[in-house]
Structures are given as C-alpha cells and as structure tokens.
Chain A
Amino acid sequence: MSCTSSEKMKAQKREKMSEEWSWDFSGVGNDFEPNIIRRAARIQVPRDESAFDELTEIVDPLGSMDVRGSVFPSDFLRGADRSSDRRAFYRKHLQELDSKWKKSRTPLVIVAKTAASPFQGNIGIRFLAASDPEDTPDDDNFPVDWRFSAEEILRRLEGADTPWAERIDAVLFAETTAFDAELKPRLVRGLQGFCEAHRFSADKETITAVGAAIRKYAMNLSGGDLDGYAHLFGPTSTQTLSCEVELELAKAIGWRLARAESAEWNHSSELKDRLTDLASDYLSVRLILQENYASIVMHALIAICLLRAERREELIGRASELKIEWFTDLLGRRMWEVAEKLEGERRSDLGRMIELLRQPVAQEA
C-alpha cells in the first residue's frame, strides 16, 4: 500500500514545491521559456488551491494526462508583474520543469496561482499557448502518448518499417491496453507475428517482450486461432525455446482456456499434441524441483485437461505417481479453482481428473 521510499521522497519534494509555488508564473512564459511553451499544448492552472495540490501530486513526477481546465487567450497575460527578482525565481523553477518534461511525457505544465496575482480577483486560470488560444481542449482531442492508444500500438505492430524500439514498446504496452472487439483480430495477428519471429531469441529484452506478447495474444485468442498458437511451441532442428518462453506459452493458454466461452475449444489437435509433449518431457522429479519447471508442468496439465487431450489421464496419473505431495496438492487445487467456474461436461471431466490426481495419495492414507 504505502509506496517505496523513493516514492516517499518524491511526495516530500512535491509538498515542498507546492509550498514554493506560491508565485504567479503567468507573465513570464511568452518571452521567457520558449522551450516549454513550444512543447506544451496547453498550460493549465487549477481554479483553487486544493485542486492545485491535487494536480501537483498527479503531475510531478508521475504525470497524468487526465487534467482539464478552461483556457484563456495568451494576451490576457500581458502586464503581469515582471520584476527581475521574480524572473530569477521563475527561471529556476521553470528550468526544473523544463528538465522534468524534456522527454515530453505530458503536454501539461502546471502553473501556480499566487495570492499576489493581479488577476486573482478575476480568474484562477492562465493559458500560455503554443497552439491556437481559441482552441478549447476536449476529451476527444486530448493528446495521449501513443503507447496508451490501441490504434497506435497496432499501427506499430503491423508496420514493416517500425523501428525496433517502437515495436518492442508496442508489444509491451499492448499487454496493459484494452482493445475493442473490432481491433482484436489485428492484435492477435500482430502479436502472433511477433512471437513467431522472436520466440527463439536469446536477448533478455526480447524474451521479456515475447512473454508479454504471449500473454496478451493468448488472452485474446478466439477458438479459431489455436493452431497458430500451437505452432509457437515447436522447436526447429537447430533451435529450442527458452524455459521462460515455454512457461509463458503453457501458462497463458491455460488462463485463456479456463475462460473459454464454449466447450468447443478442443479441436486443435496440434495444440493438444504440443502441450502433451511438453508436459510429458517435464514430468520428472528432477525437473519439477528445478526453477520454473513445476509451473510449466502444472499449467500444461491444466490446459491439457481443458482441451480434453487423449493422453490426459495418462499424464495426470504420472503426475500423481511422482509422489511430490506439495506439487499434486497445488495442482489439484488449481484444477479445482478452474473447475468451479465451468459447467456441464467440462466441469465433470476436470473433476474426474482431479480425483484421478488425488487417488494414490488417498489410497496411501
């Protein structure tokens, strides 16, 4: 709940700055800080002090693009106080702002309202515009970083000439972005292509992105996409998947199958075969007790059961016969959590697998 110590330091700094920001910046911008003005689409000042506190907490240093406000023409600002002392003070703080927003992560710059402002009685808002001062911002036109835009992410995923850094960013931020139903086919194709191209990479950053792509891809699969997913499991004659990628593939398809809307998600024989091979290869005491292999096996077995693969009983029996009590206990409970959300034949079949898993333990007891 409470953030890390670095966040506490940031909170303290924000508090200090909000105390210092009791000055009016309004007369300074047009002839004074062109870099900030050029980058800022609009600069907004809250109407009252409580809103100002809220905005400084949001914007600095974490940033927010949700703040709105009214705007006034920039010529309103002429005639503001221009004493040399204030200029020096403004310059210092605006340079701080400048360095914070060098990467332009937000188009907003907060300008404080001062008790000494000559405009205090009239308005609480100033507008220093790089754009048309008559332009009133609204929700549809509010600038958003492309990494939070589903369309922009897709454009970069699909673009043949997308720079590598942007393609990685597109994959990473796709994981936490919602895509409307009409965009999902493009999303699935884009992510499948990325996974296909980079699943054997040994580069850590790429492996991380492939993991994110796999999770998002799997969670947005439709029943007709299973063969494409299955293909990702396959090694070639010269390359094999890393343990990390295998884990994500097994885990994510398990998540998706558990949420499948229909009992008909069991027609991909390639997916059944791939998962069966994976689970079969790793079902040994020596491997299960090593890093991540237990997770791979558990997720693969759950997926195999949900797909009602032909060899599911055999594999569940082998898992039970390993006599790794913590493993079969955890697997059984995870299977039960999934079964509770199913209905009809899927639920009863998974229940039967759970009983099979627990049988030797019960017999010994």
Chain B
Amino acid sequence: MEPALERRLSEGMRHAQDGDRRAYGELLRELAPLLGGFVRARTDRADWVDDVVQETLISLHKSRHTYDPDRPFLPWLYSIARHRLIDHARNQRRREELERMSRDERHESPVAASESLWALESLPARQRDIILLLKADGYSVAEVAERTGLSRSLVKVTAHRGYAKLRAMFLRGSHED
C-alpha cells in the first residue's frame, strides 16, 4: 500500500466529510479506477465491474460519516467494496435463477402476463421499491425522496439503474424469443 496514496485519499475523505465538494469529486474520480481494479481482481465477470464500482461509491457516500481520519482509508474503502461485490453476486445469482425459471414457464405457457412482475421481482429491493413508488403509485421524485429518506439525486440514480436492468432483461428475453 503506497503511503502517499493512502495519505492523499485519507486527506481527501476528511475534506469531503467537511463538505468540500471539489475535494470530494477529485476523491471519487481517483477511487473509481482503483475500485475497478479491485473488482476485476476478484471476479471474472467483466460485466459486473461498473455496477459494483457504482454501488460501492453510493455506499461510500452513505457511510462517509463512519470513516475515522485517524485510521487507514483503503481498508475502510475495500471493506465496503468487498461487501458490495458479495451482495451483487448474490443478487445476480437470484436474478439469473428467476430468469431461468421464467424462461421455463414461458415455454410451458405462451401467455406471459407475469413477465413484468418477475422482472421487477428480480431487481434489488431498493430499485424495485423506488420504481413501484414512481410508476405504480405515481409519486414524484421529491415525494419518493421524502418517503425513503434518500436524496432526490439518489432516487433518480437508483431508478435509472433499475430501468436499465429491466431494459436489459426484456431485450434478452425478446432476442431469445
């Protein structure tokens, strides 16, 4: 572990905790490729890297108050990344299992009335809940932010990621048909 890198990142995080947005932006942009390398070293699924990096950055953002500037930064960061990778792998396995089950159901019955439902069910809980609040219940982004305790920008980011996953699932399904 490079001491200069560790010092720089720790200092950047300290400024970020104090609300310095410029320092926070520099820190996050320096962390993104570091996290990418961390994830690539632990999985052969190249398609997971961007998702896990983004989920780690979001988790880092939500838990930035827990970082102690008197302690090393990288073990704190990589601990978050490790658990996000584990969560992502678990969710992916569940999603792939659901997709497999759904493909079997569709072969048995041409009526795909529950396609939207299984697709939604296979999303991570937070993405599913936010999409349902926005689209099914008709709440605005501001109302969803208030109900969930998330910021408006995080609600938008989370919904956008959910839509992207749904789009990918339906595209895969239509190609197989």
Partners in one complex: no
